[in-house]
Each structure stands twice: as C-alpha cells, then as structure tokens.
Amino acid sequence: MTKAESAADPHGPAAIHAVPLRHPWRWVGAVAIIIVAGLFLYGAATNPAYGWDTYLKYLLDVRVAEAAWNTVQLTVYAMAIGLVLGVVLAVMRLSPNPVFRAVAWGYLWIFRGTPVYVQLVFWGLFPSIYQNIQIGVPFGPSLFHIQLQGLSLAFEMAFIGLGLNEAAYMAEIIRAGIISVPEGQTEASVALGMSWWMTMRRTVLPQAMRVIVPPTGNELISMLKTTSLVTAVPYTLELYTRTRDISAVIFQPIPLLLVAATWYLVITSVLMVGQFYLERYFSRGASRKLTAKQLQALALAQMGDHGGVPA
C-alpha cells in the first residue's frame, strides 16, 4: 500500500469548487440581438402600413376562422390519402412482383415529376374531361352511374389532388423507413412462424416509424401551406385565398396577410406538439436510458433494500 493511499480521507476526496469560466462575448452577442430585435418590433408597431387595428379586427373574424377550418380539413384529408396510398405504393415498390414494382415506379415518376399546381388545375378540369362515370361490365350493362359535371366538387377535387401528389412523396419516406429496419428482424419474425403481412405490421412498420415520423411531420406542415395552391382547382374558401379576397375588398393586403400567417403559425404549432408525442411513443426501446417508470421501480426497490437494514 502506498503512502498516498493510506493517508486518504475515509470520506473520499473533497468536492471541487473551481471558479467557473467567464463568457463575456455571449453577453455582448445577446445584448446586440435584443437591441436589433427591439428596434424591428418598435418599427413594426409604429409603421401604419402594417395596419395593426385591421389585423386585430380580422384575426378572429368568422369568415377567417371558417377558412382556417377548411384549410385544416383539406390538410387532414389530403394527408390521409397520402399516407394510405403511400404505404401501398411503398410496399408495391418493395414487392417481388414486377408488375407492382413497375406500376409504383410509374406513379412516382408522374406525380413527382409534374408541379402540384399543374396537377391541381388538371383535377379541377377532371369533371369536364370525364363528365360521366359509369361502373359496369365493359360493353355490357351499367351497374353504377354518376354525372360529375353537374356537381360542385371543388373541395373534393382539391384534397384528392393534394393527396395523390402527397402519396408519391410519402411512398419514398415510408420505403426509406422500411429498408432501415435490419433484415434480422424480418428473419426472426419469419422464423417464429409469422406471415409476411404480420411481420410487416408487428415488427417492421413499428420500427420503421422512428424513421418515418420526422419527415412526415415535415410533409404535414408543408401540406398545410400547400393548401394555399388549391385556388388552382379553383377552390377559394381556404385560409390564404379567403383572406386575400377580403383584403381585395378593403384594400389592405398587409394586415390580412399577417392574419393568415398567424393562423398558419398557430396550426403548425399544434401539429408540432402532436409530432413530439408521436416521436416519443415510437422511440420505445431505442435508448439504453431507463424510462421514468423503470427508474421509479428501481428507486422503490432500492428504498426497500435500505429499509431492511437496521440503522
């Protein structure tokens, strides 16, 4: 035993109380930014072009709120179509069936290769291209018949158009998620007697979700804003077009632009909260760190141990 060891304090070495390092430039930077931001805010508040009284007047206007609700609906329906069709396309692209692979590839080629605005104009014209839809035996009796031209389908065509475009992008995101799951996972599932579909559903997709959710959050937020293009259909009752129509009447474009921007920002914030919880759910088991529940159980066990020892 060395001298240093024998002389060691039985309670262990004293905790270090060092003088912390100073960071003066952080303070200088923060002050500079606060000054610039303050000047900008002051300028914005006092500049009459922003028309803050008009902004406040229309922020909670019923027409604007309804338009915001329409925008949310368009987003949700279009994303739902995009997700479901995206899964189908992704699975088709990974399928051993060459017909499926070719069809999925062709779909992606067309829908990613043309601007969504152009596609929306096409869907707007769809009822005049296909005036009647008949389902039945070819050259035989008709079982179902619908006349498209007489209906006002702008809202439906808007979310269908957005959804079909989105599916092409979602397919690639989902495919990336699926191929990120190691092959051993599929093998283990198959070795346990699972079918292909059960392996997909119980093993592969839940693990793929970790990769799929963050870019899908991107797509959802992006979709919320892309709904402003459905004026191409033309559908005019969503947030951006509605506020622009109001501003055209009162000749005040800037405050209504800010109204629309505020609503978009609020909806996006709500969606981001949802994404946070979704990501947390699908990251189960991804980290070695113990969950709060596990830590609590361990702490309880430890307390039990100490309780058993007489003081």
Site residues, another protein (CB under 8 A): 182, 184-185, 187-188, 190-196, 198, 202-203, 206-207, 282, 284-288, 290, 294, 297
Q: By C-alpha distance, which of 183, 137, 132, 126 is closest to 160?
A: 126
Measured torsion, CA atoms of residues 12, 14, 15, 19, in degrees rounded to the nearest 10 = -160
Q: Which is nearer to another protein, 184 or 304 (CB)?
A: 184
Find out whether 114 and 164 touch, Cβ atoms under 8 Å: no
Question: At its nearest, how many Å lie between another protein and the CB of residue 239?
Answer: 38
Q: Which is nearer to another protein, 63 or 284 (CB)?
A: 284
Q: Which is nearer to another protein, 174 or 221 (CB)?
A: 174
Q: Which is nearer to another protein, 122 or 282 (CB)?
A: 282
Question: At its nearest, how many Å lie between another protein and the CB of residue 88?
Answer: 20
- 202: tokens are 């119980």
Between CA 20 and CA 11 the distance in angstroms is 25
Question: At its nearest, how many Å lie between another protein and the CB of residue 220?
Answer: 23
Biggest CA pair distance of the chain: 104
Q: Which is nearer to another protein, 26 or 289 (CB)?
A: 289
Question: At its nearest, how many Å lie between another protein and the CB of residue 205?
Answer: 10
Residues 114-120: contacts with CB within 8 Å, 24+ apart? 116/161, 116/162, 116/165, 116/226, 116/229, 117/229, 117/232, 119/161, 119/164, 119/165, 120/158, 120/161, 120/162, 120/229, 120/230, 120/232, 120/233
Q: Which is nearer to another protein, 76 or 205 (CB)?
A: 205
State the DSSP code for 310: -
SS3 for 42-87, per residue? HHHHHCHHHCHHHHHHHHCCHHHHHHHHHHHHHHHHHHHHHHHHHH
Question: At its nearest, how many Å lie between another protein and the CB of residue 291?
Answer: 8
Question: At its nearest, how many Å lie between another protein and the CB of residue 212?
Answer: 13
Direct distance between the N- and C-terminal alpha carbons of the chain, in angstroms, rounded to an integer: 32
Q: What are phi and psi of 14, to 5 degrees?
A: -70, 145
Question: At its nearest, how many Å lie between another protein and the CB of residue 179?
Answer: 16
Q: Which is nearer to another protein, 185 or 269 (CB)?
A: 185
